[in-house]
Structure 1
């Protein structure tokens, strides 16, 4: 009996570590970690462990000459002004994004709607880092989204070919995500109210006629 909790912990820790590798794989400025928010990470890992979120991985051939692919370049250039993507900066992330767009070309024409969104298939592409709570917000704020594709950093030690992953939640999982986001928003509003009340009398009121 005493071994059972250890096995459950090991299984959950394995999922959490895998999520760290998938969702937060890009190093450098602004690098994230799924472990900054254990509550949302635990819920996300639990939904995966109990089959409420279906996860699949796909191997693909990374095209080192993707800049010569006119269609991939056209799609990238059309999306760039809607995002913070830069064009012709010769950075490593540019061809990574173009490769991702090429892999998902069969999903339809992408547009930018908080993320790269494929309306025809209700899919979202993330080529970068995203935290579990942000995934919950994505599915909550964009109810037509049914599937999330994540492209981790492709040049990983031990990978013969790069991988990308899809996450497809059930209706039950979507409901859990929605309730979690609502609960966190309620908590935030409560904290703001409490902080505002505690500051009454400490921060002096400013008359409309006063100027700085």
Structure 2
């Protein structure tokens, strides 16, 4: 009897766990948002680099309001709400890291690694903080702010630069137009970061 009940209980537990991960207040959003890179690497091209010549792009740190799959709306200096029914497929810091990696790979000749891919020396490392990735209610715009930090191979030097992009939402603060505007703004930042890195 115990064996017969075990499988249904596991399925039920998994369903409850999944609804807790995806739902907002118990309600599943109509769709999930993601970031699409405007420039993506072409298939078939091989690149080779010595350890010190690689570039490892790390997942940026983020403030508490961005450590969620929801999209924050900054109402004023001390008040934050979230866009109704808007939810990313995963944390925005991870989506942004992947977007930057794809953009750098597509627009340069660098060998770009994810932080989980390097086996020995990671070469140069691009770290930083995703400071803003949401809606500015005062201007009805989305804003992406990334404080980048480039660490040279061996950690001998560190260079910092702040990148920012804004895009008009062009309508109500709703999931689809906000997600589209954030994708445009994130791509602008990724292109600017790529130009700064060179190569």
Same fold by TM-score greater than 0.5: no
Query: Which is strand-richer, 1 or 2?
Result: 2
User: TM-score, with normalisation over the residues of structure 1?
Assistant: 0.24
Query: Which is helix-richer, 1 or 2?
Result: 1
User: TM-score, with normalisation over the residues of structure 2?
Assistant: 0.25
Q: Which has the larger radius of gyration?
A: 1
